[in-house]
Amino acid sequence: MASSDQTRLLLVEDVPQVAQYIRGLLNSQSSVKLLDVLTDGTKVLQHIAELRPDVVLVDALLQGRVKGLQLVQQIRDAGGRVPVIVLTVPQNPVDVDPEAGIHGVLAMPFSGFDLMNRISAVRKEFESSSTVGSSKVFAVFAPKGGVGKTTLAFNLAVALGQLEQRTVLIDGSLQFGDLRALLKVPVDAPSILDLPTDRVAESDLQDVLWRDPSGIDILLAPPRVEMAEMVTTRDVDKVLSLLRRVYGSIVIDMSSVLTDINLAFLDLSDTIVEIVTYDSTTIHNTVAVADAFRMIGYPASKVRYVVNRADSSGGIDPGDLERAIGRVPEHRVVSDGVLVVQSNNQGMPFVLADPAAPISQDIGRLASELLAVHGMGRTPVAGRR
Ligand SMILES: Nc1ncnc2c1ncn2[C@@H]1O[C@H](COP(=O)(O)OP(=O)(O)OP(=O)(O)O)[C@@H](O)[C@H]1O
Ligand SMILES: [Mg+2]
């Protein structure tokens, strides 16, 4: 299963023996990856931006133009997006003070056990208290093709953008890049494949995201079918952890298959927004997918069902769907053939084209309810782009 359990550590240490000691402690394990050892405090901010470590370890006694605790302050002043552990000696006590950017302290001598424990505790604590932890990933999935995933994912992302600070939509339909077609994006527009593979920084994101006129940012799928295979589960892991640092809401438009890549997207999402319709194939496949999710170990609460075209049951008893999934679907979106087709043809979200239409109201409600599930309910911000 994909995971971002490995902690990426950056060490700032100008005493070679200490750096060597820490390297030695980290050599025999895989839960912490040492990205680099920097000896010069003036280069650290730049490396943090490039390497995106999860934790930085700084020697309080660092010498040079920028001293240890000065550096800690600089990291905090630069936005404090990474927790810092200060290394010190008993003669030079330092107190933990998250306000001052000191999230943990390690006094020498320490064992490998102390080091690993402190790194893991500081990272966990920081993620649960910072905005990184409050970023939410919504995977828009369906057990059957053509039920409205791309249409709803696009409009949901725009609706979340109106409620949230920043929203990004990922075209996870990697082979056919549904959003490229919907939004009429030029063939040479950058895609997920243009993200550098080792050093991924926020600045790289700016060059790779498509800024849609609807106001949201979009990470496009590769431009050609055969290129989909070049995206690995590791890329998915990296992309999501990077996007989580920058965006409040991340929406993924997925394809209807349970491949390794799709499982990576699903594993890493907070909520699976599963689109169903009133037709017998969808109902049949929904049960199969629910079984698969149970076997993978997803709790039932990870999935929220959205009945699309909920007003056109096409002769199917809505009770059939409820019995099949064992509960009443949480959300519904009505049909609107004219508005949806017109907006899709223009590559425009219908929630902006006609905000008062019942289907747009349904999407707005879906967006607020999804945020509310995660305790993030907000009122729309007037005049947001
Ligand atoms: N609520 C709705 N009312 C009317 N038409 C809809 C609605 N939802 C989706 N559609 C239409 O259904 C068709 C399929 O939608 P869409 O491409 O979004 O599905 P998909 O699940 O992403 O398909 P795929 O499996 O190919 O990725 C589109 O023509 C769209 O206009
Ligand atoms: Mg699609």
Say how many Å lie between the CA of residue 351 and the centre of ligand 1. Answer: 15
Question: Of 20, 54, 229, which Cα lies nearest the Cα of 132?
Answer: 54
- Taking each helix axis from N to C end, the angle separating 149-163 and 358-373, rounded to the nearest 10 degrees, works out to 70
pLDDT band at 376 (very low <50, low <70, confident <90, very high): confident
Average confidence score pLDDT of the chain? 89
Say how many Å lie between the CA of residue 273 and the centre of ligand 2. Answer: 14
Spell out the residues 6+ positions from residue 44 whose beta carbon is closer than 8 angstroms to its own: 10, 12, 38, 56, 58, 66, 71, 74, 75
Q: Mean pLDDT, to the nearest integer, of 22-33?
A: 93
Q: Are strands 210-211 and 217-219 parallel, antiparallel or unpaired?
A: antiparallel
What ligand is nearest to the CA atom of residue 357?
Answer: 1
CB 153 within 8 A of CB 169: yes
For residue 275, the ligand 1 atom closest to its alpha carbon is 21
For residue 152, the ligand 1 atom closest to its alpha carbon is 18
Two tokens, residue 35? 């990205």
pTM: 0.70
Two tokens, residue 329? 């679907």
State residue 288 phi and psi, 5-degree precision.
Answer: -60, -40
State residue 3 phi and psi, 5-degree precision.
Answer: -155, 160
Q: Is residue 169 within 6 Å of ligand 1 at its C-beta?
A: no
- The residue whose C-alpha atom lies closest to atom 15 belonging to ligand 1 is 148
Two tokens, residue 9? 């550590």
State residue 276 phi and psi, 5-degree precision.
Answer: -130, 160
| pLDDT confidence of residue 51 | 83
Q: Mean pLDDT, to the nearest integer, of 25-52?
A: 91
The string of pLDDT tens digits covering residues 65-95 is 999 999 999 998 776 678 999 999 999 999 9
Two tokens, residue 105? 């302290």
pLDDT band at 3 (very low <50, low <70, confident <90, very high): very low
